Structure 1
Amino acid sequence: MKAILLDIEGTTTPVSFVFEVLFPFAREAVAGFLAAQGQEPEVQADLALLRQEYDGDGPSGPVSDHRTFAPASLPGWEGDAPTAAVPYIHYLIKCDRKSTGLKSLQGKLWDQGYGEGRLQSQVFPDVKPAFQRWTAAGKRLYIFSSGSIQAQKLLFAHTPEGDLTVYLSGYFDTTSGPKREAASYRTITRAIAQPPSEILFISDVVAELEAAQAAGLQTAFSYRPGNASADSQGFRLIHSFDDLP
């Protein structure tokens, strides 16, 4: 094993931090952020992606695998002002939609929150010692999360244990593909120039492990306090990174 690819939510970081801290922060901050910075080119690019997604979400449009609401509950998007997107953004946050435009915009919101000292990320106690142990042994560490690369870097840069980005060699998000498709892991394998059999992927989602396994990666199922299920469905189960040799 030469490289370790890590999920975030439920693997390095409590699920509660994402759903009880990050998502509510984004929901509360987005209207003011768009009013102040909605005309900036990078924000406009996020809004364009969101508008494209919205246009495909109508009653005759495709139903996303991540949607929890029927199309009839889709909120309106009236006008061209950046803040007109707020109801749809709230909708996507509530659905926990794995939307590239949403994740990119959330990264910008959280960047502001961390910079103002209103946010501090959380990682499990074994994370930093494991990062130190693995990198000392010559392993390269990577992150693969549905959150944007910017959001990933912010999370690991602002932990109570200090800046953990110094241990990480790279980051991957949904621009590499969905986490439940084997092709995404093949893309990551090529990017880090490592044979798949020498990469260990750790996640708390069986469907992600199945996709990684189909791409030839080694796998481990993470069961942490607060995770939804301890059913590893045959995958190797770990309760902390200390369980790995």
Structure 2
Amino acid sequence: MRNSTSPAVKVILLDIEGTTTPVDYVFGVLFPYAKERAGEFLQRQGQEESVQADLKLLRQEYETERAVGLAEKLPAWEGDAPAAVVPYIHYLIEIDRKSTGLKSFQGKLWNQGYQDGTLRSQVFPDVKPAFERWTAAGKQLYIFSSGSVQAQQLLFRYSEAGDLTQFLSGYFDTQIGMKREPESYRKIAAEIGVSPAEILFVSDVVPELEAARSAGMHGLFSLRPGNYTSDSEGFPVVRSFNEIQEI
């Protein structure tokens, strides 16, 4: 199957997990790395202003959960030491919570791993050639992920395929809105400065595609090895970026 992006499509907006990057890299490498090193990182850098900002967001989230009667499900957060948040961080990672505070914290933690060479991100083999092809055709490429902008930049800068940030025009995370809300996609279009109808969004999550479609964007369902579902619920399916061709 070949899907074509018409000349009217000026921007290709991409999800990461299950679209550019194997799900297993996120759940099998990045998340365990964050769980294993969170305590050590907080002992060393927990008093830094930017880390304290993340901890403030996490504390607000924790107290909100307690206020709505979820205290029995939550791990204890005892004391004011930065490392006291670790059980809650582990809890959020285990349930894959799309938490802005957690994602921002993880970006800082992963930065260390990428810098020292412990981490090298995985992308599917067709990603780099597609980036080259699309940018040569005049398309702008953007990322929209629940991971922080910092985490996104690190993933594409330190990939096994080399530095792919040269092909990317920008990044969006949950600071602009949640991925299942149409308003997030309207804001992205406004930020880029194009009509939603000029944007193609590729994701492996149908509710995200539905939100983007509600905002006026085009959508393709990414079906990659290891993804959670093969049910595109009517969205056109791509198994490789090689199937997305310009006309």
**TM category, shorter:** over 0.9
1:186-243, Cα deviation, whole Å (9 max, x unpaired): 0000000011111000000000000000000010000000001111000010101111
> Which residue in the other structure is 1:44 paired with?
52
> Which residue in the other structure is 1:98 paired with?
98
Corresponding letter in the other structure for 1:238: V
Q: Does 1:228 align with 2:228?
A: yes
Cα distance in 2 for residues equivalent to 1:77 and 1:57: 13
RMSD, matched Cα: 0.9
1:61 to 60, 68, 72: 68
Q: Percent identity of the aligned residues? A: 65
Cα distance in 2 for residues equivalent to 1:138 and 1:71: 51
> Which residue in the other structure is 2:22 paired with?
14
1:23-65, Cα deviation, whole Å (9 max, x unpaired): 000000100000000000000000000000000111x417xxx
Q: Does 1:128 align with 2:90?
A: no
Corresponding letter in the other structure for 1:15: V
Taking structure 2 as the reference length, the TM-score comes to 0.95
SS in 1 for 2:197: helix
SS in 2 for 1:98: coil
> Which residue in the other structure is 1:206 paired with?
206
1:1-245 alignment runs, 5 A limit: 1-58=9-66, 60-61=67-68, 71-245=71-245
Cα distance in 1 for residues equivalent to 2:120 and 2:193: 33
Cα distance in 2 for residues equivalent to 1:37 and 1:192: 35
Cα distance in 2 for residues equivalent to 1:216 and 1:164: 28
Give the C-alpha shift of residue 159 in structure 1: 0.9
Cα distance in 1 for residues equivalent to 2:160 and 2:47: 34
Cα distance in 1 for residues equivalent to 2:58 and 2:159: 30
Deviating above 3 A after TM superposition, structure 1's stretches of 4 or more consecutive aligned residues are none
> Which residue in the other structure is 1:67 paired with?
none
Corresponding letter in the other structure for 2:68: G
1:103-162, Cα deviation, whole Å (9 max, x unpaired): 000000000000111100000000000000000000000000000000000000011111
Cα distance in 2 for residues equivalent to 1:51 and 1:73: 15
SS in 2 for 1:123: coil
Cα distance in 2 for residues equivalent to 1:202 and 1:22: 22
SS in 2 for 1:34: helix
SS in 1 for 2:131: helix
Corresponding letter in the other structure for 1:13: T
Give the C-alpha shift of residue 244 in structure 1: 1.1
Unaligned segments of structure 1, at least 5 residues? 63-69
Give the length in aligned residue pairs: 237
Give the C-alpha shift of residue 73 in structure 1: 2.2
Give the C-alpha shift of residue 71 in structure 1: 4.6
Corresponding letter in the other structure for 1:11: T
Cα distance in 2 for residues equivalent to 1:138 and 1:101: 35
Give the C-alpha shift of residue 3 in structure 1: 0.4
Cα distance in 1 for residues equivalent to 2:223 and 2:196: 23
1:76-122, Cα deviation, whole Å (9 max, x unpaired): 11110000100001000001000000000000000000011110000
SS in 1 for 2:232: coil
Corresponding letter in the other structure for 1:125: P
